[in-house]
């Protein structure tokens, strides 16, 4: 364990890539730069964030024996202690090194898909430990803010996002959220069944969260602020849970409550083809 | 003759002797007077009203009768009403997996 924990200061392998992904700065140590899938390349940001940004130094070993795992699966699992991450074609061990810093040792199949899945699991797990979370949402950029449409499958998230005229698609499926001093920031993540070309216009961007809207299909447009308990339930049903333990669940509830204290969380009742840009602008 | 109350519980219902505690596999928060409880293994979210959340909080190895006595003092309700409410909520929370029976 001590050798792993010392990676940050005493690693001997060259840094192959330093990337920002889902609100987490990841330094990959490998013998040669690994190739990332295009969907993930679209979601990279410059890795020059401030000191409060969660950071992982990850030694990466290509392991061809992991190639045979089922392609297309997105299943991510962690050990009971939450320190061992298993993704399709990837294995990772995570060790805290103090503050918002971690060291990781990973084995991954030599394929961009496997590496992408490993990065997704790694960033989501680290972000959650650092007080943030990944939320299932269609998001739109409007007036330099990200607005997150949440709800169960079929609620109309993507449809609502497409009705924000003058806005740009920020993410079609998932968004990483971290909490700042008095607000929250969003990063687009890859994924979704219907990737939209225009979503790439949000590449390399972090945006303040302008609001979270729980979408409900209804005949008329109506917006209502959710109570704290309603918001907690709506947010929690949309959060990805990487660590399944009571302590991690308490952290997720606390993070959802902190988000509620920082940005408007509303119930949006809306019908098809109702323009929503003005509604978003009036949230504050 | 013994008359059932509206929850189908008799005054000597065995549930009143049940001892219960919170399941270790859950997370809960009290928010603006309401409880939000997540049962991890079922991945279910539930909201509890003030009385339900208090019953949940009091379930630290206490019997339903003991919980009812605490409710009587805190909510200014009759002994019968408190016993009925405590039994009702404990039964529901057991079904949700939020409480577990530690009688034995």
Q: Say how far apart CA A228 and CA A7 lie, in whole Å.
A: 42
Answer yes or no: is the ipTM higher than 0.85: no
User: Given an 8 Å threshold on Cβ–Cβ distance, is B40 in contact with A257?
Assistant: no
Residue predicted with more confidence, A32 or A258: A258
Min distance B52 CA to chain A CA atoms (Å): 14
Q: Please give the order of strands across the beta sheet that includes B60-63.
A: B60-63, B19-22, B99-101
Best B26, B27, B40, B45 residue to mutate vs chain A (most A CBs within 10 Å): B27
- DSSP 8-class letter at A245: S
pLDDT at residue A200, rounded to an integer: 43
pLDDT over 60 (residue B104): yes
Of chain A, the end-to-end C-alpha distance in Å amounts to: 48
For the cut 60, the answer to whether the pLDDT of residue A8 exceeds it is no
* A38-42, A46-50, A155-159, A192-196: range with lowest mean pLDDT: A192-196
| Cα separation, A219 vs A230, whole angstroms | 22
Token duo for residue A75 = 């299943």
Cβ-Cβ pairs closer than 8 A, A with B, add up to 41
Residues of B with CB under 8 A from a CB of A: 24-27, 29, 31-32, 34, 36, 38, 40, 43, 45, 47
By three-state DSSP, how is residue A101 classified? Answer: strand
pLDDT of residue A135: 95
Q: Which of B27, B36, B45 lies nearest to residue A246, judging by beta carbons?
A: B27
Please name the member of A229, A246, A257 whose beta carbon is closest to the beta carbon of B47.
A229
- Taking contacts as CB-CB distances below 8 angstroms, the residues of chain A near B25 are 246
Strands A138-142, A84-87: pairing is: unpaired
Six token digits for residue A223? 């917006």
User: What sign results for the dihedral spanned by CA atoms A258, A27, A12, A77?
Assistant: positive
Report d(CA A167, CA A146) in Å as an integer. Answer: 10
Q: Residue A71's pLDDT is what?
A: 55
Residue A5 confidence (pLDDT) above 60: no
**Mean predicted lDDT score pLDDT of chain A:** 85
Q: Which of A241-245, A268-272, B17-21 has the lowest mean pLDDT?
A: A241-245
DSSP result, A175-234: EEEEE-SSSEEEEEE---SS--GGGGGGTT-EEEEEEEEEEEE-SS-EEEEPPHHHHHHH
B8 pLDDT more than 80: no
- Over residues A15-40, the mean pLDDT reads 85
Are the beta carbons of B45 and A236 separated by less than 8 Å? yes
- Residues in A closer than 8 angstroms to B24, CB to CB, are 246
Residue (of B40, B17, B77, B67) closest to A251 by Cα position = B40
Chain B nearest C-alpha distance from A1 (Å): 29
Nearest neighbour of A233 by CB, restricted to B26, B40, B45: B45
- Mutate one of B25, B38, B42, B53 to test the A interface: name it (highest A CB count within 10 A): B38
Q: How far is the C-alpha of B16 from the C-alpha of A185, rounded, in Å?
A: 50
pLDDT on residue A1: 39
Nearest chain B residue (CA) to A228: B31
Indicate yes or no: pTM above 0.95. no
- SS3 string of A102-153? EEEEEEECCCHHHHHHHHHHHHHHHHHHCCCEEEECEEEEECCEEEEEECCC
pLDDT tens digits along A74-104: 667 776 667 899 988 999 999 999 989 999 9
């Amino acid at each position: 364990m001590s050798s792993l924990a010392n990676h940050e200061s005493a690693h001997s392998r060259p840094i192959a890539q330093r990337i920002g992904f889902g609100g987490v700065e990841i330094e990959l140590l490998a013998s040669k730069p690994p190739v990332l899938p295009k969907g993930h390349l679209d979601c990279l940001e410059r890795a020059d964030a401030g000191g409060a940004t969660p950071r992982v130094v990850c030694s990466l070993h290509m392991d061809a024996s992991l190639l045979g795992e089922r392609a297309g699966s997105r299943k991510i699992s962690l050990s009971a202690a939450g320190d061992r991450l298993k993704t399709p074609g990837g294995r990772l061990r995570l060790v805290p090194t103090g503050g918002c810093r971690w060291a990781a040792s990973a084995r991954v199949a030599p394929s961009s898909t496997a590496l992408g899945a490993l990065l997704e699991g790694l960033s989501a797990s680290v972000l959650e430990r650092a007080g943030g979370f990944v939320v299932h949402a269609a998001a739109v950029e409007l007036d330099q803010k990200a607005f997150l449409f949440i709800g169960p499958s079929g609620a109309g998230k993507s449809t609502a996002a497409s009705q924000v005229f003058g806005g740009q698609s920020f993410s079609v499926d998932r968004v990483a959220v971290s909490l700042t001093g008095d607000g929250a920031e969003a990063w687009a993540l890859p994924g979704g069944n219907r990737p939209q070309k225009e979503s790439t216009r949000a590449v390399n961007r972090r945006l303040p969260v302008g609001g979270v809207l729980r979408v409900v299909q209804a005949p008329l447009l109506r917006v209502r602020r959710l109570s704290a308990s309603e918001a907690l339930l709506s947010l929690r049903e949309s959060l990805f849970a990487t660590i399944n333990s009571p302590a991690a669940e308490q952290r997720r509830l606390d993070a959802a409550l902190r988000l509620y204290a920082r940005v408007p969380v509303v119930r949006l009742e809306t019908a098809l083809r109702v323009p929503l840009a003005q509604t978003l602008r009036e949230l504050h | 003759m013994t008359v059932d109350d509206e929850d189908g519980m008799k005054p000597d219902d065995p549930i009143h002797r049940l001892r219960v505690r919170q399941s270790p596999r859950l997370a809960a928060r009290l928010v603006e007077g309401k409880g939000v409880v997540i049962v991890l293994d079922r991945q279910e979210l539930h909201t509890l009203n003030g009385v339900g959340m208090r019953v949940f909080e009091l379930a630290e190895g206490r019997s339903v009768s003991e919980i009812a006595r605490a409710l009587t003092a805190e909510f200014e309700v009759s002994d019968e009403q408190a016993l009925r409410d405590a039994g009702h909520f404990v039964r529901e929370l057991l079904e949700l997996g939020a409480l577990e029976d530690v009688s034995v």
